[in-house]
Amino acid sequence: YSLQQLQKMKMELTRFMMAYEFALDQITTKIENLSQEFHYTHEYNPIEHVNSRLKSPESIFQKVLKRNLPLTLPAIEKNITDIAGVRIICSFQSDIYALKGMLERQEDVRIVEVKDYFKQPKSNGYQSLHLLLEVPVHMSSTSKKIIVEVQIRTIAMDFWASLEHKIYYKYNQAVPDRLRSELKEAADSASALDRKMEKLHLEMKEIKKTEREEEHPLELM
């Protein structure tokens, strides 16, 4: 390649990555706004925390090689759906679905794929809700639809997944059987804890509702 060609490629790649950065900003702002509104109406915060990251060009390149894809921007755009990624950690499973509903109702967001690992947990015990969202990004001379991957988990499942991820990479994906079954047990315990916490949370909501009805009976008529 000539220096000029390389400079042109660099500019194209920067512009390509910029669109993902803008899409990520849009989605994180939306999530922040929805969270604040939810906090106002429900008197508690459904979101514990939010992390977002842009995949580095090196990691994108590794995924392209691993999947034997052509090294072109259109092929990357079509096949690598986690260039822009957001992870949302909620306290309760019901909040995860409430958040999904709120995102679905956003006019400029389209949910293009849903992977519900709560309904169908992975064999290792992994549970999470994965959404691929499509948002329009307007740049000076073009408008593009960009995919953002959103993973929504509970605190307990996030705790489990971060350790499992480390173990998986430590053993280069060949986790010994004993560890694998202990991890599965830990995932089941995390899931049981989630169900217990959800039940307590519902009971708490009922108590608060009854208290309000007793304090202000006329308001509810």
Catalytic residue among 21, 149, 203, 211: 149
Instruction: Kindly tell me which of 106 and 124 has the beta carbon lying closer to ligand 0O2.
Output: 124
Please report, as ranges, the residues that interact with ligand 0O2 according to CB under 6 A. Answer: 81-82, 115, 122, 124, 126, 130, 151, 161, 164-165
Is 113 annotated in the active site? no
Sign (positive or negative) of CA dihedral 137, 116, 125, 191: positive
DSSP assignments along 154-177, one per residue: EHHHHHHHHHHHHHHHHTTT---H
- The least CB distance from residue 75 to ligand 0O2, in Å, is 14
Instruction: Kindly tell me which of 91 and 128 has the beta carbon lying closer to ligand 0O2.
Output: 128
- The least CB distance from residue 192 to ligand 0O2, in Å, is 18
Instruction: Kindly tell me which of 100 and 130 has the beta carbon lying closer to ligand 0O2.
Output: 130
- The least CB distance from residue 11 to ligand 0O2, in Å, is 27
- Cβ atoms of residues 190 and 163 within 8 Å: no
Cα–Cα distance for residue pair 134/167, rounded to 1 Å: 32
Cα dihedral 136, 149, 99, 138 in deg (nearest 10): -10
Cα–Cα distance for residue pair 112/134, rounded to 1 Å: 7
Q: Which residues are catalytic?
A: 149
